[in-house]
Amino acid sequence: MAVDLAKGQKLSLEKSGGGSLTRVFMGLGWDAVRRGFLRKKSIDVDLDASCLLLDRSGKLVDTVWFQQLRSKDGSVQHHGDNRTGEGEGDDEVIVVDLTAVPAGVQTLVFTVSSFTGEDFSHIENAFCRLVDAAGPAQTELARYSLSGSGTHTAQIMASLTRDGSGWTMTAIGAPASGRTIRDLVPAVARVL
């Protein structure tokens, strides 16, 4: 059963029967706000999911985003860019093989940004979720709502941090400004 995470809440990624998860994905979903008569008109909003890989000191090791769909070591993979949010479920997905993340990487930070520059007041039904991707059932472990509309153009969603031999997810939910992951590096440094 998935846990609805509140800002700042942590979730251990240990399996209920013991051991740690080996493969997860972070899904991002959203819809453009419909306006006008009968809510039929909407503008396309291009949100982008991204991941920063940081070492113990918080130094940037690598990034995964729509211009680099795979980390240099191959442990983190982005499954492609959705430019409209159309359709049900996850619009963008970043898969992480936790067993292959290099030992020098301490933290993975997931962000979302509006590439087209619209602020979050133009989106609804926005969420990120963490899913156990190792099994055929693909069980949702945690969900974090991004629906708090605002004038920000980006959000630092969540982090996965090494915790002994396993990992812990933390819901961050910090608003930020920027169109790409490059714009968000300073904001991530401030919240970690």
Flag residues of the chain having pLDDT under 50.
Answer: 1, 39, 41
Instruction: Give the pLDDT score at 77.
Output: 97
The pLDDT, as a whole number, for residue 166 is 87
Express each pLDDT in 129-161 by its tens digit: 888 888 777 888 888 776 556 788 898 988 999
pTM, full prediction: 0.85
**Per-residue DSSP letters for 53-121?**
EE-TT--EEEEEBTTB-B-TTSSEEE----SS--SSS-SEEEEEETTTS-TT--EEEEEEEETT---GG
Q: What is the pLDDT of residue 90?
A: 75
CATH topology of domain 3-10+20-32+42-191: Lipoxygenase-1 (2.60.60)
Domain ranges within the chain, ordered by starting residue: 3-10+20-32+42-191
What is the predicted pLDDT for the residue at 73?
97
> Considering the chain, what percentage of its residues have pLDDT values greater than 90?
38
What was the pLDDT predicted at 59?
A: 96
